[in-house]
Amino acid sequence: MASYNKVILVGNLTRDPQLSYLPSQTPVCEIGLAVNHRWRDKDGQQREEVCFIDCTAFGRQAETLNQYMSKGRQLLVEGRLSFDQWETNDGQKRSKHRVRIANFQFLDSGSGRGQAPSAGAPRAAAPPPTNQSPPSAAPPGEEDIPF
């Protein structure tokens, strides 16, 4: 029997990412996403429903999410739905669906933990602004070129 398991979500982080490591030293990042659904009911009233989804990333993706994301930032997540089951210390059985992240994309520029790198290594933090303007490095007569 054929099967297909793919989830694509766009939402906002409900908390800061939580990074931990498996015994094998593989990074694991847990995030929570809030995904909103808006519609008008039969009376024309605006309605909204929020779905909270736990997501997990592993490896380099886990480290990247932890480094650049923070509560409130918008994120597109692509992955698969998984079902976790466990037993608590007092013997109760628990279960939860979660999304195992395969790919993600930052959707806002945000002012969280840093700017996402455009390519390659992360950028260094920018120095604090000063009241003095920096000296112009442009040749004379080219100071007003907009690019």
pTM (2 d.p.): 0.70
> Structural domain of residue 43, as residue ranges?
7-106
CA distance 117 to 32: 22
CA distance 129 to 64: 27
Per DSSP, 60 falls in state H
Task: Kindly report, residue by residue over 118-135, the tens digit of the pLDDT.
Answer: 333 343 333 344 344 344
What is residue 108's predicted lDDT score, i.e. its pLDDT?
Answer: 82
Q: How many domains does the chain have?
A: 1
33: CATH: 2.40.50.140
End-to-end CA distance of the chain: 57
Residue 12 lies in a domain: yes
CA distance 119 to 38: 35
Angle at 98 between CA 13 and CA 94, to 5 degrees: 120
Task: Kindly report, residue by residue over 59-75, the tens digit of the pLDDT.
Answer: 999 999 999 999 999 99
